Chain A
């Protein structure tokens, strides 16, 4: 009797473990603690004068893939708790999707995901699917998860992706106590759209990418709500002056190129955008040249140079069918970027990236440094610094002039 029970139990256990072990689970969790140290006092009313802005971050990457690799579920929640700026305390679903990869050469993804397009380093012009999570950092590299249906074909003639984006997400902004913000706080409750568009109007995008010998090419087309807002103030001023976000409907064509030869990477990104004032073009073009094993060490030094052009006219407000449109402000109308990346190629993957973007007209300069190193097997230490030098009062960076900072971040991975 006992034997029989044990036999049944073990059969059940085997069956259960069979289900649980079908496919593959993988979880990576990252917990970070960071301190942003500001070197100067703030200049706008309401900003916290704390020198140190501490934060805690949590991100978990949970994914399951079936044994045949065709089905995949991904869930990536992200949380930040900030001690100073309550707008910086929030949660986001970075990714949360199901993907099916066919036997043939197509795949479909449904859910919240992140997509990157582009080649250049100083600015990501072509990249437009995900909204910028600007409360994280001002480098526009942190992105919010975007709900989408994505259909992809992967052929020997290249990759073709179709996107249907059913929900628009607003850009995030620091709150009144936060640093690195606009002079007026951006209202995050009430958001305006330039015509009847609402956030639930569907955006569409298509992208083709492939490589031809030493060339990598990407072509993209987007029609939908611009990810970049304009800031407007109400006609009747409110008690506390603030900016409201106003999003226009745009069509944008993008081209990204990279030519790879020897130790040289030549890069280009260009867009044509219609829908924000007059149709305009913008481009970034440059190079990355790597010197290998400098000083007879295993160190690699990459030298980066890029020119940034943006032809938008921020002053002109067009009136079309009773609606005014204009281009959002940009800091990168005519700028030069120079930088260097040092990789020590050690077991701790130590790397340092430093650079500066200089406005060719008014010489306003934004300097940055990013360094990281692994400690042991499961910790990382990151340093980041941004300095705003010689900023012209007309330049957008004038708002950040007193916000030079050093960010120290320690993260543990599980």
Chain B
């Protein structure tokens, strides 16, 4: 009981009620603040199957997992999406280069697998049409294919390279491939305040192999349950990078998405910003739109 968790916002209660309604539980009694901890996990248990290995054994681990699960599951059910973004890479001297990227995502069927995504580069012009198709997994390495339009060649690539930089940016491959709940174990640290928001601070530890991190510290707001900031600690447990997520917007389907990501590398003073355009949802995509054969239709 030491890590009692309480809702502060009426929106959160409403969201929880809606979730309960969907789940058909209708047990409003569990919404009393004293029982909020259990209520979070009951919501989770009703609609999703918690991974006991990822959820851990201690109360801190449970609570950390449940907060992360709620954040993840709040935006569940979007089906598919497409969005363009600009990647701005800034070196220590402040010089900028940019890449325009388009990403299409198919939501996972359940939490035992990951999302499928297709990333296509639009600029720089010499790599236009280069694409990366990923089938994210939980603990096994993701399946990834690279498409090189000049050669019309698709190539399965090793995804053991979790910690390497993604196309010269401050984002590692593991930051970029979809953030699956069960890829980590968790530990609740404390409540806190970030930019005037009440946040839950939790640590997460990669369960998959070849991660470049010992741990990540995430800050999730208590109002709409979105991750606002993540600090990444390298293999020596020194602070390596900080990711800030801004400009959250809610779409008609209820899903929240951040539209600005800022990744600062404290060890090199380099920075990468991702600036997103509007998301498109409801594209009616299916598994067949994410098989490797689609790569050859890109260019």
User: Which residues of A approach B to under 8 Å, CB–CB?
Assistant: 28, 30, 61, 63, 99, 101, 105, 107, 114-116, 118-119, 141, 152, 154-156, 158-159, 209, 211, 216, 258, 260-265, 290, 292-293, 298, 300, 345-349, 374, 376-378, 380, 411, 413-414
Contacts and interface: CB of A to CB of B under 8 A. Distances in A.
B125 A300 contact: no
A71 B127 CA distance: 23
A154 B124 contact: no
A346 B152 contact: no
A411 B126 contact: yes
B153 A28 contact: no
Nearest to B272: A347
Contact of B160 (A30, A118, A263): A263
Interface stretch (B16-24, B25-33, B285-293): B285-293
A388 B90 CA distance: 42
A378 B288 contact: no
A58 to B, nearest CB: 14
Interface string B150-170: 011101111011011101110
Contacts, number: 98
B128 interface: yes
B143 interface: yes
A97 B126 CA distance: 22
B97 interface: yes
Contacts of A101: 297
A260 B128 contact: no
B141 interface: yes
Contacts of B91: 347
B291 A260 contact: no
B160 A262 contact: yes
Given A258-B156, A411-B126, A349 B167 contact: yes
Contacts of B169: 347
B294 interface: yes
Given A119-B155, A155-B288, A380-B126, 19 more contacts: A63-B299, A154-B291, A154-B293, A156-B287, A156-B291, A159-B293, A211-B143, A261-B158, A264-B158, A290-B160, A290-B161, A345-B165, A347-B97, A347-B169, A374-B124, A374-B126, A413-B124, A413-B125, A414-B125
B89 interface: yes
A292 B288 contact: no
Contacts of B287: 156
B86 interface: no
The 3 closest A-B pairs by CB, nearest first: A413-B125, A159-B293, A347-B168
8 contacts: A159-B291, A300-B164, A345-B165, A347-B91, A347-B169, A348-B97, A349-B167, A377-B98
A293 B234 CA distance: 13
B123 interface: yes
Given A105-B288, A156-B288, A114 B152 contact: yes
Contacts of B98: 377
A28 B125 contact: yes
A216 B151 contact: no
Contact of A298 (B160, B164, B292): B164
A155 B291 CA distance: 8
A156 B165 CA distance: 32
A300 B161 contact: yes
A61 B143 CA distance: 30
Contacts of A114: 152
B57 to A, nearest CB: 30
A374 B167 CA distance: 13
Contact of A262 (B126, B158, B293): B158
A262 B167 contact: no
Contact of A377 (B124, B143, B155, B288): B124
Given A156-B287, A211-B156, A377-B98, A298 B126 contact: no
Given A262-B141, A292-B164, A28 B128 contact: yes
Contacts of B153: 116, 118
Contact of A263 (B156, B161, B288): B161
B292 A211 contact: yes
Contacts of A99: 297
A294 to B, nearest CB: 11
Contacts of B291: 154, 156, 159
Given A209-B293, A347-B91, A265 B168 contact: no
Given A347-B97, A374-B124, A263 B167 contact: no
A171 B71 CA distance: 59
Contact of B158 (A155, A209, A263): A263
A345 B168 contact: yes
B139 to A, nearest CB: 14
